């Protein structure tokens, strides 16, 4: 029996099983078929972004293999939309895709907006080959920095999905491209009128953290992903060399340089569903002790990867992990993030008090 409020539990059900779109809603959302419904830029963001009551943001899968028995149906209601789930109806706002995607042939490379956040991806592909991720299936290439900055300017002016902040992320660069990546970080921070976060793997030493903080970075996402070391080695062999000590040193220094415990400026993602829940919770404890906000990202299988047939975690499992993680986090003076409410759209997190906000 779930102890979460029903709309929060529905979010987890949607993560597990996705949603379907009835014909009338589909016609409105796609302009009678003249534009795409979703953008499959990455599996965890490739759904329809919904907003339920109480500012619950949900990235709802619609067309993946695991959506065969959807948790809800998006239907029309007057001039708006509702989610029909069993005998219940939930008012839902549907966020559009960014206007600069249309026409697709003219959209800027390496730029995508999710909810209120622009994501800037300086490279195609990835130097790492994680078994659950399809990013490494893309041919590796660095993108033109000037083109990225120009694309950022376009996204900053978008009126369909106005942004509030920026994240530089995407794949991990090859060792020879780290200087390129660092230059993109610093140029983006310097050129953006909005706060800029950086998502990155730990590097040897902490010099890069100092450079980015001195350059004005707003925060860091240093994603541990898998806590259990044998599982991490099997699923993320290119990242195993960092080790827990490497993550701890890098994250702790980032926390210290961005105001300390409880500021929410450093977060780290753990994947729910690819290791035992006890291990995930140990990861939550590990990160929380460092003063870092843990983020729970439900595994979503990506087509073409080795784990494409692995099921999504059940809503019951996600609820259990969330409730226990919340207790651990609060005991250490942090929260289950992200703190940005719209950025919770693809994570097991909910707005809950003063720690959570619009960026």
pLDDT, tens only, 39-90: 999 999 999 999 999 999 999 999 999 999 999 999 999 999 999 999 999 9
Phi/psi of residue 309, nearest 5 degrees: -95, 5
For residue 141, what are the β-bridge partners? Answer: 124
Domains observed in the chain: 6-94 (no CATH), 101-346 (3.20.20.70)
pLDDT, tens only, 80-93: 999 999 999 999 99
DSSP 8-state class, residue 86: T
- Using 50, 70 and 90 to split pLDDT, how confident is the model at 1? confident
pLDDT at 105: 87
240, pLDDT greater than 90: no
In our burial notation (b when 16+ CB lie closer than 10 A, e otherwise), range 197-208 reads bbbbbbeeebeb
And the tokens for 223? Answer: 């994603």
**Got the DSSP string for 118-149?**
EEE--EES-S---TT-SGGGSPPEEPPHHHHH
Q: N- to C-terminal Cα distance for the chain? A: 34
pLDDT, tens only, 104-156: 888 999 999 999 999 999 999 999 999 999 998 999 999 999 999 999 999 99
Specify the DSSP element, H or E, that contains 84. Answer: strand 80-85
SS percent in the chain: helix, strand, coil, step 5: 40, 20, 40
pLDDT at 155: 98
Pair type for strands 48-52 and 141-142: unpaired
* 57 touches 345 (CB < 8 A): yes
pLDDT at 82: 98
Other CB atoms within 10 Å distance of the CB of residue 54: 12
Burial label for 241, CB within 10 Å (0-12, 13-18, 19+), is exposed
And the tokens for 34? Answer: 């003249």
* 30 touches 22 (CB < 8 A): no
3-state SS class at 12: helix
Mean local confidence (pLDDT), 308-324: 98
């Amino acid at each position: 029996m779930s102890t979460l409020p029903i709309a929060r539990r529905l979010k987890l059900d949607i993560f597990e099983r996705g949603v379907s779109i009835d014909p009338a809603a589909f016609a409105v959302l796609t302009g009678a078929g003249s534009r795409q419904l979703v953008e499959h830029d990455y599996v965890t963001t490739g759904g329809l972004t919904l907003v339920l009551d109480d500012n619950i943001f949900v990235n709802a899968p619609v067309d993946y293999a695991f959506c065969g028995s959807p948790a809800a149906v998006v239907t029309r209601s007057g001039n708006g939309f509702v989610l029909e789930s069993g005998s219940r109806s939930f008012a839902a706002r549907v966020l559009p895709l960014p206007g600069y995607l249309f026409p697709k042939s003219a959209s800027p490379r390496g730029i995508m907006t999710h909810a209120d956040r622009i994501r800037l991806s300086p490279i195609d592909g990835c130097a790492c080959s994680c078994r659950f991720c399809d990013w490494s299936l893309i041919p590796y290439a660095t993108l033109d920095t000037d083109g990225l900055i120009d694309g950022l300017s376009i996204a900053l002016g978008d009126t369909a999905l106005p942004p509030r902040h920026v994240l530089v992320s995407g794949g991990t660069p090859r060792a020879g491209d780290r200087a390129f990546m660092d230059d993109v970080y610093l140029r983006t921070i310097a050129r953006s009128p909005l706060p800029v976060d950086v998502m990155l793997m730990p590097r040897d030493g902490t010099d890069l953290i100092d450079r980015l903080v001195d350059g004005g970075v707003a925060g860091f996402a240093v994603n541990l992903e898998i806590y259990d070391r044998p599982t991490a080695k099997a699923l993320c062999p290119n990242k195993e060399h960092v080790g827990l000590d490497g993550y701890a040193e890098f994250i702790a220094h980032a926390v210290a340089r961005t105001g300390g415990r409880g500021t929410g400026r450093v977060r780290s993602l753990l994947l729910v569903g690819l290791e035992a829940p006890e291990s995930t919770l140990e990861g939550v404890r590990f990160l929380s002790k460092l003063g870092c906000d843990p983020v729970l990202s439900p595994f979503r299988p990506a087509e073409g990867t080795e784990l494409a047939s692995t099921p999504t975690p059940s809503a019951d499992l996600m609820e259990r992990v969330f409730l226990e993680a919340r207790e651990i986090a609060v005991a250490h003076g942090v929260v289950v993030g992200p703190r940005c409410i719209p950025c919770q759209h693809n994570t097991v997190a909910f707005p809950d008090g003063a720690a959570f906000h619009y960026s």
